[in-house]
Amino acid sequence: MVRAAVLPAVGSPLEITEIDLPEPGPGQVRIKLAAAGVCHSDLSLTNGTMRVPVPAVLGHEGAGTVVSVGEGVTHVAPGDGVVLNWAPACGKCHACSLGEVWLCADALAGAGSVYAHRSDDGGDLHPGLNVAAFAEETVVAANCVLRAPEGVPLTDAALLGCAVLTGYGAVHHSARVREGETVAVFGVGGVGLATLQAARIAGASKIIAVDVSPEKEELARKAGATDYVVSSETTAREIRGLTGKQGVDVAVECVGRAVTIRTAWESTRRGGRTTVVGIGGKDQQVTFNALEIFHFGRTLSGCVYGNSDPAKDLPVLAEHIRAGRLDLSALVTEHIALDGIPAAFDNMVAGKGGRALVVF
């Protein structure tokens, strides 16, 4: 038996309870978690913005140590440190054939399986976003496991599984920020902080952080922001004022709200790029008129998982970490236990802090 955070139903509070895990079958790996980040996507699962089968053990950003492996698993062995990949590519669908593995049609196929049972009543449990990282241990498909970079503590490496890949990828793969360009980042949570660091690594000349909370300015500046704007009705005007009345070359939206996406668009110069990372609900409708689309010549694009290929990007991120260019600890504002996850969700809703990290 292991302790885990279970979502009984959409809209219900999480339950911290004991679950029974099977031994890994063919093509599976059992992992003892070292840490798991509390991501906004987990919150989106609890309120129904994103849908997966329930009851489910949530958590998708994690790292740990291999306990045992099933038949046919050769790329990791017991004792290895690993990072969880919640969206493994199948390698066979149309998106994968194009090299766009972040859009794999079958990436979440495993979320529909029954991977464990509640200890109290034997009820079936699904693995949230494939990996069920809000648990002391988990059993995952072998393609959900990547070797952790050498020299990176597993508690830090957990953040590589979502926040860092997403933020880094948004800058380097989606928006393709070039040295000397100006960047605005909307939302200073875990992903936003990673995006700010990525913009600094890319050599952006001015990096403007935008958030509703004045208290996050120190966090943002530590991550690389050169300027800080408290979100208001005049945000776009303030950003243009900071960029010679032009607007930024690139805006990255990490919130997922219609008003923020629209403001990010308005903060971008003519011919600039706006990349949307935040996951919003179907009720968040963003509108544009035909004339402004023509006149401004801007590009608006979505960004899934940072448009990243984890197998290729993890070694790059590891080198940035070892060289001191990427500081994973700067993303974390709170270390918590499993039973601290509901409070971390509340802080997220209230716009407080960066990444909360469950440490086992």
Instruction: Catalogue all structural domains in the chain, each as residue range(s) with its CATH number.
Output: 2-161+327-359 (3.90.180.10), 166-304 (3.40.50.720)
Number of Cα atoms under 13 Å in the Cβ half of residue 167: 35
Please state the rounded mean pLDDT for residues 60-70: 97
Closest CA to 359 of 9, 78, 49, 62: 62
What is the C-alpha to C-alpha distance for residues 30 and 138, in angstroms, rounded to an integer? Answer: 6
Weakest-pLDDT range from 40-54, 111-125, 151-165, 330-344: 40-54
What is the secondary structure of 164-206 as a DSSP string? HHHHHHIIIIIS-PPTT-EEEEE--SHHHHHHHHHHHHHT-SE
For 337, the token pair is 């236990």
| Whole-angstrom distance, CA of residue 164 vs CA of residue 171 | 11
Q: What is the mean pLDDT of residues 134-149?
A: 97
Whole-number average pLDDT of the chain: 96
- Average pLDDT of 316-323? 95
Question: DSSP readout, 30-62?
Answer: EEEEEEEEE-HHHHHHHHTSS---SSEE---EE
Sheet holding 182-186, edge to edge: 227-230, 206-211, 182-186, 248-253, 268-276, 299-302
pLDDT > 90? residue 355: yes
Tell me the average pLDDT across 201-211. Answer: 98
The answer to whether residue 358 scores a pLDDT higher than 90 is: yes
Give pLDDT, residue 53: 93
- How buried is residue 251: exposed, middle or buried, by Cβ count under 10 Å (0-12/13-18/19+)? buried
Whether the pLDDT of residue 153 is over 90: the answer is yes
pLDDT of the residue at 51: 86
Q: State the number of CA atoms in the 13 A half-sphere of 54 facing the CB.
A: 19
- The model's pLDDT over 225-252, given as tens digits with 9 standing for 90+, comes to 999 999 999 999 999 999 999 999 999 9
Position 52 scores a pLDDT of: 86
Report the predicted TM-score, pTM, of the whole model to 2 decimal places.
0.95
Question: What is the C-alpha to C-alpha distance for residues 186 and 255, in angstroms, rounded to an integer?
Answer: 7
Determine the average pLDDT of the residues in 304-318. Answer: 95
* CA 15 to each of CA 1, 31, 57: distance values in angstroms, whole numbers, following the listed order: 15, 21, 9
The pLDDT, as a whole number, for residue 343 is: 94
pLDDT given at position 76 = 97
Ordered strands of the 56-57 beta sheet: 56-57, 2-7, 15-20, 116-118, 124-125
Distance, in Å, from the CA atom of 60 to the CA atom of 50, rounded to the nearest integer, reads: 13
The span from the CA of 216 to the CA of 352, in Å, is 8
Instruction: Indicate if the pLDDT at residue 72 is higher than 90.
Output: yes
* 113-133 per-position pLDDT tens digit: 999 999 999 999 999 999 999
pLDDT at 47 over 90: no
C-alpha distances in Å from residue 73, one per residue of 28, 70, 76? 7, 6, 7
pLDDT reported for residue 326: 96
Please check the confidence at residue 351 and state whether its pLDDT lies above 90.
no
Predicted confidence band of residue 95 (pLDDT cuts 50, 70, 90)? very high
Q: Which residues pair with 5 in a beta bridge?
A: 16
| Residue 352, pLDDT score | 86
Spatial distance between the Cα atoms of 148 and 105, rounded to a whole number of angstroms: 26
Q: Is 271 left (phi over 0), alpha (psi -120 to 50) or beta?
A: left
